[in-house]
Amino acid sequence: MPQPRRTREEIPLRGPMGAVLSSDVTGAKQQHVAALDGVRAIAIVAVMLLHAASDYFPGGAIGVDVFFVLSAFLITSIIIAEHRVGRFSFAGFYWRRLLRLGPALVLWLMLVAAPTAVLMGQGDRVLASTLVSLLYIGDFVIAYDWVPIADAYVHIWSLAIEEQFYFVWPAALVFLCLRHPERLRTILWCLLGAAVGVQVAAHQSGAQAYFLPWGHIVAIATGCLAAGLYAHGVPGWMNPLVRSTTVAAAVILMIGAVCLWADQMPPAASSMVLTVASIGIGLLVLHAREVRSGFVISLLTLNVMVWLGRRSYGLYLYHRTLAMLIPELLPGITLKVAGPLVLILAFLVAEASYRWVELHHARRGRRRSAHRAASAV
């Protein structure tokens, strides 16, 4: 595929093919980027703080938008990289997604979510809640109150948005790559501009926008644009922003400020701050991907940050539900005891999920995709 022309003002952040972003890419030597795990760690810490102490961290939901930016960036980058070498397959892509996310979700539904709902007196909601979770429609069901969902399942709304992105975006991106590769960056810039308008309007229409895709569309569009810029070259005017440690640190501080003081902002200001923060997170992701040294990179690549980031999916699934389950199993337990106990159990369960479920099935998906790619040669 011909590469888009770059002007002298455009400074590419990588070589023609660059390094493979994720272990999901088939048929190529794989490279894991520890700093991106650090970005995931920021996301999951923010969400866990919200679940554990919402009075003190009312804006912890910004972590979900960090996840959306990062997920859109990685998925878009994977598709572009595979498409460039003629190895992209819709079947392979969705098979890897299924094995990466499905088994851990099913175990959580059976072993923790359902028992928690039963103990909380919501056993009559388990079947509907389970089906909603497996069909990835929790965002619409919760936003429009189609059916009652057990409290233990509520946080599946964000997983639903992410999966719906996986359903829609690959086909659209492949079409753009095939028909207009030289215009990809321009198209992605336009999509981001449209996303800003949609998200601002959505948040003005009502509180249910928080649970819906268009309530977080800027984060998703930002991640897609960041991947397009990474693949085809960052404009010269953006390069100092991407490489600046000061800018990256300011984005992290902004995330922290939103976590602490989101409830003190009027709705209109909150919507604009979320929009600006999402775009800033895109700069942070590019910084984490390309810069090799500096204070922010040192922070993101700390062992504890990498550990948290790699286990963020399990922590997202289990932490909130365990916080509901423990008081039901141990009536009268004090918060001083329950808090640390929930945290320890969440870490242990997330480690088990990562080590024996997520990694195992992700490797199965990669082996099958690699075999299909080799057979097609």
- Predicted local confidence at residue 325, as pLDDT: 97
- pLDDT score, position 177: 82
Q: What is the pLDDT of residue 114?
A: 98
Q: What is the pLDDT of residue 15?
A: 35
Higher-pLDDT residue of 18 and 319 is 319
Q: How many helices (H) and strands (E) does the chain have?
A: 17, 0
Question: pLDDT tens across 19-56, in order?
Answer: 333 334 343 444 689 999 999 999 999 999 999 999 99
* Mean of the per-residue pLDDT values of the chain: 89
Each residue of 181-203: pLDDT tens digit?
Answer: 889 999 999 999 999 999 999 98
pLDDT category of residue 205 using cuts at 50, 70 and 90: confident
The predicted pLDDT at position 298 comes to 98
Residues 342-361 have a mean pLDDT of: 96
What is the identity of the amino acid at 18? G
Q: Which of 69, 114, 66, 76 shows the shortest CA–CA distance to 316?
A: 66
pLDDT mean over 256-282:
91
Residue range 156-172: mean pLDDT, rounded: 97
Give the integer Cα–Cα distance in Å for 283 and 36: 12
Q: What percent of the chain has pLDDT over 90?
A: 79
Average pLDDT, stretch 46-74?
96
Residue 366: the pLDDT is 65
Determine the pLDDT at residue 19.
32
Of 338, 227, 214, 339, the closest CA to residue 285 belongs to: 227
Sign of the dihedral defined by the CA atoms of residues 72, 75, 81, 86, in that order: negative
pLDDT at 348 exceeding the cut of 50: yes
Residue 261 CA: distances (Å) to CA of 61, 181, 226, 251, 278: 12, 42, 28, 15, 17
The reported pLDDT for the residue numbered 372 is 56
Is 70 exceeded by the pLDDT of residue 118? yes
Question: What integer pLDDT is reported at residue 362 of this predicted model?
Answer: 82
Specify whether the CB–CB gap between 231 and 21 falls below 8 A: no
pTM (predicted TM-score): 0.90
Average pLDDT over residues 283-298: 97
Q: Mapped to the 3 state alphabet, what secondary structure does 74-127 carry?
A: HHHHHHHHHHHCCCCCHHHHHHHHHHHHHHHHHHHHHHHHHHHHHHCCCHHHHH
